Amino acid sequence: MKIAISNSIFFTQKSGGISRYFVEISKQIIKDNNNDLKIISMINKNYFLKDIPKKNKISLYMKRYPNFKLLEKLNNYASQIYLNKFNPDIFHESYFSNNFYVKKNISKVITIYDTIHEKFSEYYSKEQINQKKIIIDKYDHFICISENTKKDFIEIYKVPESKVSVTYLAGNHFTDLKKNQLPKNEEDIFILYVGPRKLYKNFEIIYKTIEKSKNLRNVKVICFGGEKFTDEENIKYSKINIKQIYGSNTDLLKLYCSATCLIVSSKYEGFCIPIVEAMQLGCPVISSENPTTKEIGLDAVIFFKQDSVEDLSNKIEKILYDSNFRNIYVKKGLERAKFFSWKKCTKETMNIYKTII
């Protein structure tokens, strides 16, 4: 089977859950010599792609480049030429794009990550909200990353259920890095937050909770990645103890292994890889209640009521100051994390490919 994965996410994303997903399943697919896989990304700035063998990618890595339409068009044009030459059995679009012409005899798949643009339309432009609507008829099958995403997607777009499947993502990509992890430092207590903070991510609830609680004002919060703090945020967050750092996979691994807990504050998620990453590494998780985080975490995650400073404060204090309570959720998380793996995700994805070619 010949499989082509598009450049759409790799041109725009240096790192992140979506490019992580495609690189991890590609690595698994490549292990099966019966399959010929190519990631077609002529120009990209994605460092996860470095893990893909040269023979399985068309890739020119550039650490940075100007984000202008002409370069994107040139990149898509070059990628289209190679796509035509490769002539795959399966074309898997990595993000919502209308940039490629794919022959009718090629089976076309796209992954649906969430319905955030549709559910939080007040935050987005009409173009962003309509991006799925424009391309939906082009695809033979849709892969959703949670049952809740599937439910929302079918409900909004009226797609036949027979054309929609679910493959859960995973968090076991840190397994090979565990030898580099640092021992836990019990004296350095901190809470970890991973990724973007804006809009529906609702990071403000964490700030309000720390700022208002006498018992938590001195607790350090480390934000890994996401948007760079604005000047306003730097001033506001410096009054308590919220810091931001960037780093490598190894740096993030060490934070998970040392953090007292991970907090996920978002109002909605398509899957939320950090929950599974944290559970996999023995870091307990406190998350806002929403259908997807409850689906992924089950009873292995400590949930708080959305927008409730009081409830979040109580849950943080419990995890910080009750070691028995914390250890219960470390064990529950480790057990729940066994349900998710990139090997399982890849196997289910390959089964989908086989049914549609």
Co-location of 240 and 287 in the same domain: yes
The one-letter amino acid code at 257 reads C
Co-location of 176 and 87 in the same domain: no
Residue 100: what pLDDT? 86
Sequence-separated (6 or more) residues with CB below 8 Å from residue 18: 9, 94, 95, 111, 113
Say if residue 103 is exposed, middle or buried (CB neighbours under 10 Å; 0-12, 13-18, 19+): exposed
Residue 186: what pLDDT? 47
Alpha carbon distance 38, 2 (integer Å): 8
Co-location of 59 and 21 in the same domain: yes
Co-location of 96 and 219 in the same domain: no
Co-location of 253 and 324 in the same domain: yes
Co-location of 190 and 318 in the same domain: yes
Residue 82 sits in which domain range? 2-170+341-356
Residue 69: what pLDDT? 82
How many independent structural domains does the chain possess? 2
**Polymer length of the chain:** 357
Co-location of 276 and 248 in the same domain: yes
Alpha carbon distance 264, 148 (integer Å): 17
What SS3 state is found at 44?
strand
CATH of the domain at 190: 3.40.50.2000
Co-location of 157 and 302 in the same domain: no
Identify which of 166, 188, 157, 192 has the alpha carbon closest to the alpha carbon of residue 345: 166
Residue 175: what pLDDT? 74
Co-location of 153 and 185 in the same domain: no
How far is CA 249 from each of CA 27, 32, 174, 224, 310, rounded to the nearest angstrom? 17, 26, 8, 11, 33
Residue 327: what pLDDT? 97
pTM comes to 0.92
Bridge partners, residue 191, by sequence: 221, 261
Co-location of 221 and 322 in the same domain: yes
Average pLDDT, consecutive stretches of 10 residues, N- to C-terminus, the chain (357 residues): 95 92 96 88 92 94 83 90 94 90 93 94 86 89 98 96 98 72 60 95 96 92 95 93 92 93 97 97 97 97 96 97 96 97 97 95
Residue 180: what pLDDT? 52
How far is CA 104 from each of CA 87, 88, 323, 335, 357, rounded to the nearest angstrom? 11, 11, 59, 44, 12
How far is CA 182 from each of CA 221, 251, 255, 259, 294, rounded to the nearest angstrom? 19, 10, 9, 11, 30
Q: DSSP E strands: which ranges in the chain? A: 2-5, 36-44, 57-61, 90-93, 107-112, 141-144, 164-166, 190-194, 220-224, 242-245, 261-264, 285-288, 302-304
